[in-house]
Amino acid sequence: MNAILLGILALPLLAALALWAVPAAIGDRLAALYGSVISGLVLVGSLLLWPWKDGWFAYAPNGERPLQAVTDVPWIPSLGVRFHVAVDSISMPLIVLTALLTFLCCLYSLRITPRIGRTRSLIALLLVIEAGVIGTFSAMDLVLFFVCFEIVLIPMWLVIDIWGDEHDPAGRKRAATTFVLMTVLGSALMLLGFLLVYRQAGTFDIVRLTDSPVLGGHGVPLAAAVLIAVGLAVKVPLWPLHIWLPDAHAKAPTVGSVLLAGVLLKLGTYGMIRILVPVLPDATVTIAPYLAGFSTVAIIAGSVACLAQTDVKRLIAYSSVGHMGFIGLGIATLSPAGLRGALFANIAHGIITGLLFFLAGAIKDRHDTSDLRAIGRALYARLPRIGALLTFASLASLGLPGLAGFWGEMLVLLGAYEPADVLPRATYLVFMVLAGLGTVLTAAYFLRLVRNLCQGDPAEHPPAAFAVDLSRIELITWAPLVALTVLLGVWPGLLLHQWGNL
């Protein structure tokens, strides 16, 4: 088990270095094939890493979350920093999600490549991002968590800056710069919080800190909790720290948008569940109502912004603000139902929004724009399979029962109805009502998208001569996301039983 975890951490990095070292004449298709093989091996390794029993997941039959695949060795002894990695039922689904989406992005690049070319470098950066994200999800030391958290930053900046919207070079550079500046600021605040925790507890080890949490709801622990919460909120992102997200999504290439929404946003919410809540419990109780308030504002603000969008990628980006607001609200309830809902919504959002951005990229490729006014209507007639999949993903994202998006939001609302005993229930009831209004607004803007883009008279919106409906590589790439959306919708216990002791 230890070797498997170390292998899926090291393999993408070594493969990326090897890809950069080969002659520049290597073809785009060969580079994408190489990336698909490497990321496929990482996906297989992540599935092998998950303990199995009688053919099914073995975690939490007795409500425990034992650490698996533990490696704990000195790294910087003079500072008390250790290379401590492990996985449990909280991190394991996120690691599998990361491996799956990276594999699908590399597979997608076998046929669909950015017009700017340089696919070899793009694939290498995707592999570096994969290694950094998996490292973050498995880190059990605060300094190691921070280092892996930062490894992801520069590659994603380059993906947006180099391979972003070729029609708007200035816009993509602005989006990339805003992304990197905002996330660096958040990381700096988070690191200051980690140093305050070390000053208070004398260790960076997350396991030791969880077993002996830093108590006290004021003073140094409260300052540390605020800094860590704000730093992680930038990555989520919660309102009003979300300003970098819409442009980053709108200007990023398709694979960049998929990983940004499907994986990178989860680093912030995972950090709150892994570090903030268990390490600083008393201080988290103090700031939880404020976190819940900002999350609720994010739900409403993101939904209202979606109603005003005329660009399909920006609409999906703003929808992520609302959905991540639900996850933040679930964490802020500090209740078992809310935390389970947040964890489930993390996975569901990654799957569904990844599919939505794949579809948005396909529509943009065929029309050379993501502007809804320029694309026109009657997508059902012009691209019937893509139109049907867009409708399916939209229904999943708005929380239709029977699909994956429903269960997380339902549990979050239940958690807000019955928050932890130490929290003001009346305040959370208000948040629950407002979040419920957000679900109505979510249904409104997705149904509006389907009506304005998919329906209409095909005679008024004739298909472009070059427009080709669903291709084979797109079908292969998107099929796992469709299947998982249905599977988790009809069988939520597949994941929920993993978190029985929360």
**pLDDT tens by residue, 94-113:** 999 999 999 999 998 887 76
**pLDDT tens by residue, 197-221:** 988 888 888 888 888 887 777 888 8
Closest to 4 (Cα-Cα) out of 114, 138, 113, 105: 138
Beta carbons within 8 Å of 309's beta carbon, 6+ residues apart: 315, 318, 372, 445
Best-predicted range by mean pLDDT (43-52, 322-331, 374-383)? 322-331
What pLDDT is attached to residue 61? Answer: 43
Count of CB atoms situated within 10 Å of the CB of 465:
5
pLDDT at 240 over 90: no
What pLDDT is attached to residue 79? Answer: 81
Closest to 9 (Cα-Cα) out of 71, 51, 101: 71
Query: What are the backbone angles phi and psi of residue 316, rounded to the nearest 5°?
Result: -65, -35
The identity of residue 177, as a single letter, is T
Binning pLDDT at 50, 70 and 90, where does residue 412 land?
very high
253 is written with which tokens? 């290439």
**432 and 413 in contact (C-beta within 8 Å)?**
yes
What pLDDT is attached to residue 340? Answer: 92
CA–CA separation, 261 and 89 (whole Å): 22
What pLDDT is attached to residue 500? Answer: 65
What pLDDT is attached to residue 60? Answer: 45
Beta carbons within 8 Å of 162's beta carbon, 6+ residues apart: 116, 118, 121, 122
How far the first Cα of the chain sits from its last, in Å, is 25
CA–CA separation, 119 and 127 (whole Å): 12
pLDDT at 57 over 70: no
Please, what's the b/e burial string for 376-404 (b: 16 or more CB within 10 A of its CB; e: otherwise)? bbbbbbbbeebbebbbbbbbbbbbbeebb
**CA dist 7 → 3, 73, 375 (Å):** 6, 16, 45
DSSP string, 146-211: HHHHHHTHHHHHHHHHHHS-TT-HHHHHHHHHHHHHHHHHHHHHHHHHHHHHHHHHS--BHHHHHH
**435 and 416 in contact (C-beta within 8 Å)?**
yes
What pLDDT is attached to residue 431? Answer: 92
Please, what's the b/e burial string for 150-163 (b: 16 or more CB within 10 A of its CB; e: otherwise)? bbbbebbbbbbbbb
CA–CA separation, 251 and 260 (whole Å): 12
**Mean pLDDT score across all residues of the chain:** 86
Closest to 226 (Cα-Cα) out of 294, 296, 276: 276
Kindly report the pTM of this predicted structure.
Answer: 0.91
**pLDDT tens by residue, 150-168:** 888 889 989 888 888 777 7
pLDDT at 56 over 70: no
pLDDT at 501 over 70: no
User: What distance lies between CA 326 and its chain's CA centroid?
Assistant: 13
Q: Between 183 and 465, where is the model more confident?
A: 183
The identity of residue 395, as a single letter, is L
CA–CA separation, 293 and 282 (whole Å): 18
